[in-house]
Structure 1
Amino acid sequence: MAPAPANGAAHRPPPPPAPARAPQEVEDDDVTRGSHQPHWATVPFQVLLVSLVFIAVPGPLLIGFGPGWLLLSTLAVALGTTVYALLSWWNSSFGLRDDHLVVHSGVVRRGSREVPLSRLQAVDVVRPLLMQILGLAELRIELAGGDASCVRLRYLSRRTAERLRASLLAHAAGLSGTTPEAPEWPLYRLPFGLLLGALAFRLPVLGAFVLFLVLMVAGISSGEPGVLGAAVPLLLGLMQGFIGPLLRYTDFYASRSPDGLRLRYGIFQARMQTVPPGRVQAVQIVEPLLWRALGVARVDANVAGYVGERQMDSSTLLPVVPRGVAYALVGEVFPGADAARVALRPARRGGSAHDALGLDDRLFVSRRGLLCRVTEIVPLARVQSIRLTAGPISRRRGVADVDADTPPGPIRARAVGRDLAEARRVVDAVAERGHAARTTTAGPERWATRGEGRGPVS
């Protein structure tokens, strides 16, 4: 699918009307009222999962005492898991109360959690392969407040998870939870051939593959099994660097909606990720050497709410995309900004010819790297602090580095080797313009109810 226009007026056909549903279906699907429990398939799912783990781990040891011991032990584990799963399912519930999500859980130690939806950062619907077979889904709700702030509602029906996701986003936008799901418009669909070629067309992957072939040929021709053993780590590295991303981003589809950027991808773990407006703190466009020949890039972001491993797992907005679409996405997540028009000035001394810095009224842009060119883009309204650093040797040379600090994530916007006077001017300009941008830009809470908020994404 061709990328949709990034800017301009919304010459877009209105979304198709939602199909009418019977009153009973609407009532069954209404997650905005009352208390709800996880799907009943939670119990057999947990029993099956624990039984398979038991057979796989201690099972080979128990089989030595005879098949009967293994069978009885497995039945005992399955029975105990069934009792615990039933009690856990019975004591688990969730529901919406005003502007809060209330979650009850626990068997021995009961817990109750009340989540203010005004602090919602992102909502993901995750469906591993076994859940896809059983028609289940997990809803992951990211909130402001650190690593312990993530709320996971496991083993919901797919329709319930998607309806609850829409209600949570509506509440976070300041709308009623019964508001119909916002329409969406296509942004980009990743062709499988482009994904396959881009993942293979990388220097580490090509180098590891050539070295793997050399070791295989050498081991077979010399008859030395030790040489073949040395190829195993290379094969594992290839699987992690090529097969893993291939399976993860197959069937990748990105769309734009008034409630944020929607991403769908994955085979063995299907995922629907929704990033509400204003949650993206910084963006980087990564262009490896061989990718530049293809005119494609990868787009990563620091997304508020994701921390630690979840931040790294959810930082990629577009895995492989034409360079023009990558810059168009920057205009989507940072409305009114045009990173492609920011003039970049190369470092005069102390840095390489590939280090550059650009600044306008909205964006701080830095570029670095020869083999892998990385362009880091931070809106001035999101800059948490601006730093000028210069060691003793750098001061004698008259150069300094400028860092634009953002919330945690893979992006660390830094311009190295700048002239000391220029670096001071940049720091002063970012501080002044950033203050002006923050005073004129509303926060990301309840974006749909503000008169100055952004309308439907065009």
Structure 2
Amino acid sequence: MPRQYPAAPAKPEVDVTKGAHRLHWATIPLQVTVIALVFLAMPGVLLMQFGIGWVLLLTLSVALGAGAYALVSWWNVSFGLRGDHLVVHTGLARRLSREIPLSRLQAVDVVRPLLMQVLGLAELRVELAGGDNSEIRLRYLGRRTAERLRASLLAHAAGLSGRTPEAPERPFYKLPFGLLLGALAFRIPVLSAFLLFLLLIVAGIAFIEFGVLGGAVPLLLGLMRSFLGPLLRYTDFYASFSPDGLRLRYGVFQARMQTVPPGRVQAVRIVEPLLWRSLGVVRVEANVAGYVGERQMDSSTLLPVVPRNLAFALVNELFPGTETATVRLHPAQLGGLGDDALGVDETAFVTRRGLFCKVIEIVPHARAQSLRMTAGPLSRRLGVATVEVDTPPGPVRARAAGRELTEARRVLDGVAERAHRARSSTAGPERWATRSESADPEE
């Protein structure tokens, strides 16, 4: 009978809630490899005239120098949790320490490019309130360490212990690959560019004219960006809800897990392109507090392709108490363009615009930052005005044009009163878990 050997004990998981930690050691060889490849691709090519031996010797010298720098840099970067603060130390000659209260946390993303997936590494991105320089990136961590740190940060932001187990999730929507493929192709810009590309290629072959490549190549690059880019980005898209917020997972070559805590979504818009109406699908975008500039546009899409009824279900989940689909929308009386309409109920300000591409924008009264009623010289002569509700930066621009002056003033006053009442009765998103517990009447 074969002898039984005891199984090797499992390696204990790193406790990210205690002490200081460093990035994964694989960060050092990765940096050295990148610098050596850049040297070979640029100066190395020019140095080939001196012989392959000199090139290899110089590359080795560059790699050794890069290794020494990467080692010292890695040693001087550390992070840890101190109370409800995230502390990050960086810098070589100039030491920089950042201590960030997690009550300012806006979103936590775990990003895994293809190479990092192979190596079992991940990058943790922490978005904070405060502008372009507020983002913190920890690259690279072990995958399990990154996910555990993400859960710990979200728990601290909710007012719970950092050792709280990861919150369970409730499945909401999984995007079928066939629907994503068809929706991305079934768009007027994509179809027009594809037909024009085919015409240029056919004309070039028929008349043996290679000059058409001057127009065909840019069209092909544009198609790759507008079709293949979103296709690869949103493949394996999965959305779920959990107590710590909305969770989104997507991506092939860059797998991403995005978590938006409760209360961070400020406004939502539902976009329905002309050709998508026959498919019954829409796109859902949002203004998310904390994301600014390029990061805002990169992370504003909540659902790239989704059935229309599920889009409204998502809005109702993000803004509890709202029933956006049932809000009565009133068309513009004067000066409105296309299908412009406005609706206001006790919970949200809703607008609809667009003739070919229909856009519905929703701003809860509690999220309104400022209100405006504008009327230019021509508008005043026509007796109309535009009502606008401002939110943090993002794709949503809630505005209703072509409203009669008396109606516009009535809407403005009504929204201002409801917004004040909503903010007075609704607490902010900070420490939402402990706040809800303390508010429990049974305690």
Residue 420 (structure 1) aligns with: 405
Q: How far is 1:74 from its partner?
A: 1.6
Q: How far is 1:126 from its partner?
A: 0.6
Q: Deviation per CA, 1:7-50, whole angstroms, max 9, x where unpaired?
A: xxxxxxxxxxxxxxx9975x533100011111110101111112
In structure 2, how many angstroms separate the alpha carbons of the residues matched to 1:161 and 1:236? 35
Residue 236 (structure 1) aligns with: 221
Residue 187 (structure 1) aligns with: 172
Q: Is residue 270 from structure 1 mapped to residue 270 from structure 2 by the alignment?
A: no
Aligned residue type for 2:113: P
In structure 1, how many angstroms separate the alpha carbons of the residues matched to 2:37 and 2:410? 63
Alignment partner for residue 445 of structure 1, among 422, 430, 438?
A: 430
Residue 293 (structure 1) aligns with: 278
CA contact (8 A) 1:347 1:353 kept: no
CA contact (8 A) 1:346 1:353 kept: no
Q: Is residue 96 from structure 1 mapped to residue 81 from structure 2 by the alignment?
A: yes
In structure 1, how many angstroms separate the alpha carbons of the residues matched to 2:439 and 2:129? 22
Residue 115 (structure 2) aligns with: 130
In structure 2, how many angstroms separate the alpha carbons of the residues matched to 1:289 and 1:307? 29
Q: Deviation per CA, 1:315-372, whole angstroms, max 9, x where unpaired?
A: 0000000000000000111111111011111111101240010100110001111111
Residue 369 (structure 2) aligns with: 384
1:353-364 to structure 2, matched below 5 A, reads 353-364=338-349
CA contact (8 A) 1:170 1:177 kept: yes
Counterpart secondary structure, 1:104:
strand
In structure 2, how many angstroms separate the alpha carbons of the residues matched to 1:328 and 1:429? 26
Alignment partner for residue 284 of structure 1, among 251, 261, 269?
A: 269
Counterpart secondary structure, 1:52:
helix
Residue 221 (structure 1) aligns with: 206
Q: How far is 1:203 from its partner?
A: 0.1
In structure 2, how many angstroms separate the alpha carbons of the residues matched to 1:199 and 1:75? 47
Counterpart secondary structure, 1:450:
helix
Q: Could you say if the C-alpha distance between residues 115 and 358 of structure 1 is closer, same or farther in structure 2, counting changes exceeding 3 Å?
A: same
Alignment partner for residue 317 of structure 2, among 320, 332, 335?
A: 332
Q: Could you say if the C-alpha distance between residues 215 and 434 of structure 1 is closer, same or farther in structure 2, counting changes exceeding 3 Å?
A: same
Aligned residue type for 2:239: A
Residue 149 (structure 2) aligns with: 164
Counterpart secondary structure, 1:370:
coil
Q: Is residue 60 from structure 1 mapped to residue 45 from structure 2 by the alignment?
A: yes
Counterpart secondary structure, 1:59:
helix
Residue 159 (structure 2) aligns with: 174
Q: Is residue 108 from structure 1 mapped to residue 93 from structure 2 by the alignment?
A: yes
In structure 2, how many angstroms separate the alpha carbons of the residues matched to 1:417 and 1:57? 58
Q: Is residue 152 from structure 1 mapped to residue 137 from structure 2 by the alignment?
A: yes
Residue 78 (structure 1) aligns with: 63
Aligned residue type for 1:429: G
CA contact (8 A) 2:338 2:354 kept: no
In structure 1, how many angstroms separate the alpha carbons of the residues matched to 2:49 and 2:361? 59
Q: How far is 1:454 from its partner?
A: 10
Q: Could you say if the C-alpha distance between residues 454 and 43 of structure 1 is closer, same or farther in structure 2, counting changes exceeding 3 Å?
A: farther
Q: How many aligned positions are there?
A: 433
TM score, norm. by length of structure 1:
0.92
In structure 1, how many angstroms separate the alpha carbons of the residues matched to 2:39 and 2:388? 51
Aligned residue type for 1:403: E
Larger CA deviation: 424-433 vs 67-76? 67-76
Larger CA deviation: 99-108 vs 233-242? 99-108
Aligned residue type for 2:67: T
CA contact (8 A) 1:386 1:402 kept: yes
Alignment partner for residue 195 of structure 2, among 197, 206, 210?
A: 210
Runs of 4+ in 1 over 4 A off after TM superposition: 22-25, 452-455
In structure 2, how many angstroms separate the alpha carbons of the residues matched to 1:247 and 1:135? 20
Counterpart secondary structure, 2:21:
coil
Q: Deviation per CA, 1:252-284, whole angstroms, max 9, x where unpaired?
A: 000100000000000111100000000000000
In structure 2, how many angstroms separate the alpha carbons of the residues matched to 1:62 and 1:440? 70
Counterpart secondary structure, 2:127:
strand
In structure 2, how many angstroms separate the alpha carbons of the residues matched to 1:388 and 1:71? 68
Counterpart secondary structure, 1:28:
coil
Q: Could you say if the C-alpha distance between residues 49 and 383 of structure 1 is closer, same or farther in structure 2, counting changes exceeding 3 Å?
A: same
In structure 1, how many angstroms separate the alpha carbons of the residues matched to 2:10 and 2:197? 60
Larger CA deviation: 352-361 vs 251-260? 352-361
In structure 1, how many angstroms separate the alpha carbons of the residues matched to 2:307 and 2:49? 58
Counterpart secondary structure, 2:337:
coil
Identity %: 74
TM score, norm. by length of structure 2:
0.95
Larger CA deviation: 416-425 vs 254-263? 416-425
Residue 29 (structure 1) aligns with: 14
RMSD across aligned positions (CA): 1.5
User: Where does the alignment leave 5 or more consecutive residues of structure 1 unmatched?
Assistant: 1-21
Q: How far is 1:452 from its partner?
A: 7.1
Counterpart secondary structure, 2:166:
coil
Residue 16 (structure 1) aligns with: none
Alignment partner for residue 241 of structure 2, among 240, 243, 256?
A: 256
